[in-house]
Amino acid sequence: RHIAGLGNIYADEALFLARIDPRRAAGSLSAQECRRLAEAVRKVLRDGLKDGGTTFRDYRNGAGESGHHQEHLYVYHREGKPCPVCGRPVEKTTVGGRGTHFCAHCQR
């Protein structure tokens, strides 16, 4: 029911689904954008759990198996590759000291 925070992968993916530019200050979001973001967070977490997590290097679940969610990511770890919605290249920048992947066209 409650979460303390999101890692880079799920934060990037949720912001993409909610169509929110990750460079925006949280306090600038409208009530509608906050609702879209909350729903997007729920979706990316549900999808990540369904796919057994995201494995790029060494993540393993309790049974020692790799996850498969990396096969379904929209923007994370896709710098320079086409956005799945508009086809423009996914960009990477630094926000708050962390790498952030996004589509500058879709996430205005």
- Identify any residues that bridge with 92 across adjacent strands, giving them in sequence order: 101
Longest dimension (CA), the chain: 42
Read off the pTM.
0.89
Q: What is the pLDDT of residue 103?
A: 98
Q: Give all domains of the chain, ordered by start, each with its CATH number.
A: 8-102 (1.10.8.50)
- Identify any residues that bridge with 90 across adjacent strands, giving them in sequence order: 79
For the chain (108 residues), the mean pLDDT of every run of 10, in chain order, is 83 98 96 96 93 77 80 95 98 96 97
Q: What is the pLDDT of residue 13?
A: 97
- Identify any residues that bridge with 100 across adjacent strands, giving them in sequence order: 93
Asked if residues 76 and 82 have their Cβ atoms less than 8 Å apart, the reply is no
